[in-house]
Structure 1
Amino acid sequence: MFLEKIKSAASGVMLYGITPPKASTQPERVAEIAQKTVERLTNLDIDALVVYDVQDESARTTEERPFPFITALDPLVFASGYLEALTIPKIIYRPAGKFSVQELSDWLEKLHEHTFYPVFVGVPAPDFPVKTSLQEAYKIWSKHQDTSVIGAVTIPERHNALNDEDVRMLDKMNCGVSYFISQCVFNLDYAKQLIEDLYLRCNRQQISPPTIIFTITACGSVKTLHFMEWLGIHVPDELKEELKTSEDILEKSVRLCLEIAEALTTYCIERSIPFGFNIESVAIRKAEIEASIDLAHRISQMLTDKGVRKPSKESEVTFID
């Protein structure tokens, strides 16, 4: 179970991340989308489903957003009301600062009722008025610490810029956080530096490191690549050029993602850092969705082959050529 793997700091955790349908979607259409999601994921060897809270981050940058922002359904509503048939645990993102203490308390109670797990994230822009601090949010959650786990986000790009992500992570660990889901990784060097600095800091302080779950995302078009960069994901120039000049950018990105996942696996094993992967699927194109499923199968198999993940008897591993 996901809960047991995080509490025991087991490596090889596999997640799959999605966004809810847009808020204006008719209920019957939402049900159709949910049914297709359940069908795609039922036989996928994953430990939990991540359901993101989609925020408008336009205020974070002056650069024009490549895709228009569209308000999405509340992730808890989507997960609890439409994805019941998918019996794996759900991880629900929530920008804690947008809600009052009472609102967060009520939300956490609903989460607990469904045996879902929270990941608190920051507000969409630095000047956004904060109603509840992350520290307060963690304190509210702490009443559930014996039967739940709480996650947080880690950003290798921020560590490259400020060189303090390892300190931020340990501060959140002191508040009860036991695992971190990264921003999408395309710059392997940034991720490795974060792992190394976290490893050294934990050794110096003689504490056990948290689980790091690296987000891996296939890129199906140049416009999607531009959007990733708009979101703050750093794509090295050489890799960017490989994608842009490839005959099939989606196939090329899958291969690059597999290389990144294998390199991170080796790096974490060498440093005894518990780790896993979150395969993100936020595109609506069928080809990109199928590529994400293929990527999840392949990474799960790679972890099994390396002995860090037990093969699932229920999963049916099939690859898309």
Structure 2
Amino acid sequence: MLTDKIRSKESGILFYGLTPPKAKHTKEELETIAAKHIERLNNLDIDGLVLYDIQDESDRTDIERPFPFIKTLDPCDYAKNYLDAPLKFPIVVYKAVGKYDKDEFRLWLQERVGKRFHTVFVGAASKDTKVTIGMKEAYDLKKEISPDITLGGIMIPERHIVKHDEHLRVFSKIDNGCEFFVSQCVYDLMAAKKFLDDYAAYAKEHNKPLVPIIFTITPCGSAKTLDFMKWLGINIPTHLEERLKNSEDILHDSVKLSRDIFEILYFYGKGKGIPVGCNVESVAIRKAEIEASIELLHDIQKIMER
């Protein structure tokens, strides 16, 4: 079971990440989309499915969004109404806590009392985003109302290079009940390795537990998608950006690059005693990119089996 793996602090946890369908779809369209997801997903040997809670994020930057923001279905609603029963593994639901008021969030927690449930709390996109409930209050409500929920947090390697304190943020979140972390998509290998260095060193110095770090990797099918990833705050080193944009097959090369990045991080982390896992993200709708994400997932399984 996923909860047991997380609480045993095992390496090799494997997730597959999806964005819920657009909210504008009819019920019949959602049922068709869900049926395709279920057929694809139940053929995968994974520990859990990640469903994202999408935020606009336009107030995070003045740069124009490469793709227009379109509201998606609430991940909890999509999981409960379309996916939950047919899937043979747990669903890890992202919860952008700032989108909800206190009463809504309290009710959401109450509905999950006594259930085996996995979630990742996500903070506001920027300090300028107006929220009605902050992360500290969300953690406190979770402890009060539904302490048995298996709670995860977000880890951002790029932020560590700038502020040098991502490991401290992680340990603060552990103190608030987080039992595992899912990273933002990783293309900056050095930033991720530096985080692992400081994460392990701080834990050793202060006698702290090392909880699983799940690194997210994502195939990229076009130069415009690459620009969107950068808009989201993902750091893509200049030499890798040029390599991908000049590639004759950007999708193939991004799969290989993502695989190589994770392989290095997996064994580097294990060498430091850190339980490392992977979240293969599939947020595209093109068939080729979906198939590439499945190929990448199988490659990651082979790495973990070595």
How far has the Cα of 1:114 moved from its partner? 5.7
In structure 2, the partner of 1:257 is 258
String of CA shifts for 1:163-198, please: whole Å, max 9, x gaps: 111111111111111111000000100000001011
Task: Please name the residue that 1:303 is paired with.
Answer: 304
In the other structure, the counterpart of 2:17 is 17
The reply on whether 1:232 has 2:233 as its aligned counterpart is yes
Structure 1 Cα separation of the partners of residues 52 and 112 of structure 2:
14
1:144 is matched with which residue: 139, 143, 146?
A: 146
Between the aligned residues of both structures, percent identity stands at 47
Q: Secondary structure at the match of 2:179?
A: strand
C-alpha distance in structure 2 between counterparts of 1:288 and 1:111, whole Å: 34
TM superposition shift of 1:144: 3.3
SS at match of 1:177: coil
Structure 2 distance, partners of 1:220, 1:114, is 38
Corresponding residue number in structure 1 for 2:267: 266
Q: TM-score, normalised by structure 1?
A: 0.92
Superposed counterparts of 1:90-101, under 5 Å: 90-101=91-102
For 1:120-139, what aligned pairs fall within 5 Å after superposition?
120-139=121-140
| 1:167 aligned partner | 168
* Aligned residue number for residue 318 of structure 1: none
* Code of the aligned partner of 2:29: R
- The 5 A counterparts of 1:210-249 are 210-249=211-250
Contiguous gaps of at least 5 residues in structure 1: 306-321
Describe the superposition over 1:139-162 as per-residue Cα deviations: whole angstroms up to 9, x where unpaired: 2222433x4310010101111111
**1:97 Cα shift?**
2.2
Q: Which amino acid aligns with 2:202?
A: R
Deviation at 1:128, TM superposition (A): 2.2
Does residue 62 of structure 1 match 2:79?
Answer: no
Matched residues in 2 for 1:174 and 1:185: separation?
25
Paired residues of 1:23 and 1:73 also in contact (CA < 8 A): yes
SS of alignment partner, residue 266 of structure 2: helix
Confirm or deny: 8 A CA contact 2:112 2:146 kept in the other structure.
no
Preserved CA contact (<8 Å) 1:111 1:118: no
Answering whether residue 81 of structure 2 is matched by residue 81 of structure 1, we say: yes
Kindly indicate whether the alpha-carbon contact (under 8 Å) linking 2:203 and 2:210 is maintained by their aligned counterparts in 1.
Answer: yes
CA apart distance, 1:100:
2.5
User: How far apart, CA to CA, are the structure 2 residues paired with 1:112 and 1:5?
Assistant: 21
Distance 1:257 1:7, change over 3 A: same
Report how many aligned residue pairs link the two structures: 304
Distance of aligned partners of 1:82 and 1:113 in 2 relative to their CA distance in 1, 3 Å threshold = farther
Secondary structure of the residue aligned to 2:185 is coil
Tell me the distance in 2 between the aligned counterparts of 1:300 and 1:115.
Answer: 25
Opposite residue 8 of structure 1, the aligned amino acid is S
Query: What SS does the corresponding residue of 2:53 show, helix, strand or coil?
Result: coil
Residue 313 of structure 1 is matched in structure 2 by none
Q: What does residue 42 of structure 1 align with?
A: 42
TM superposition outliers: structure 1 runs of 4+ over 6 Å: none
Q: Distance in 2 between the 1:90 and 1:114 partners? A: 12
**3-state DSSP class of the match of 1:87?**
coil
Residue 29 of structure 1 is matched in structure 2 by 29
Contact 2:12 2:276 in 1 (8 A): yes
Q: Is the 8 A contact 2:60 2:128 kept in 1?
A: no
Do residues 2 (structure 1) and 6 (structure 2) align?
A: no
Does structure 1 conserve the Cα–Cα contact (< 8 Å) formed by 2:110 and 2:146?
no
Distance in 2 separating the partners of 1:110 and 1:291? 37
Shift of residue 210, structure 1, vs aligned partner: 1.7
8 A contact 1:80–1:114 mirrored in 2: no
Residue 189 of structure 1 corresponds to: 190
Shift of 1:136: 1.5
Q: Which amino acid aligns with 2:157?
A: P
Structure 2 CA distance, aligned partners of 1:228 and 1:208?
32
Question: What is the Cα-based RMSD across aligned positions, in Å?
Answer: 1.3
Letter in 2 for 1:281: S
Whole-angstrom distance in 2 between the partners of 1:88 and 1:111? 18
Q: SS of 2:14's equivalent? A: strand
- Whether the 8 Å CA contact 1:157–1:233 is kept in 2: the answer is yes
Compared CA separation, residues 229 and 81, structure 1 to 2 (3 A): same
